[in-house]
Amino acid sequence: MTRRNIAEQLFNDALNTIKESQGELEKTISGYTSGVSGRPLVDVIEDYNNIIVITDLPGFKKEDIKLDISEATLEITANFQEDILEEGYSYIKKERKYGEINRKIELPVRIKIDESQADFENGILKVTMPKKEIEENLQIIID
């Protein structure tokens, strides 16, 4: 083997080691900085009978979304799993985020938990929560 071939081989080995280390470093940094974005953005809508919460969850599967509802709050938690590449494939660029996102929303009125329902279609989660009946106030005249 000539000196040039030896130098090229050493250079290629060093370059491959750097590429492998870069992938591991990106995974480590991603673990600290990602979490998908941490907080999904929501729209909270009110009509006469309902409170409706709509949030975009693109890329999530219905079974990876968990909803916890109380009379005063709605908590949305979703977990986005990292794709596992088949053998023989490697990333050239990896920017998508993975992990868990969570959002707890304080509701403007009390809701009926048992009548609430959720739909998830095309990456959009819509939670409809019927309001509890509003107690009427009675004004009492003082004698």
Identify the CA nearest to 108 among candidates 137, 73, 62, 58.
Answer: 73
**pLDDT tens column, 21-73:** 776 666 565 554 444 457 888 999 999 999 999 999 988 899 999 999 999 99
**85 within domain boundaries:** yes
**137 within domain boundaries:** no
Range of the domain at 41: 34-130
The CATH number covering residue 62 comes to: 2.60.40.790
Q: State the total domains in the chain.
A: 1
**100 within domain boundaries:** yes
* DSSP letter, residue 131: B
**135 within domain boundaries:** no
Tokens of 122: 């095309």
**139 within domain boundaries:** no
Identify the CA nearest to 95 among candidates 28, 26, 32, 38.
Answer: 26
What pLDDT is stored for residue 36 in this prediction?
47
**138 within domain boundaries:** no
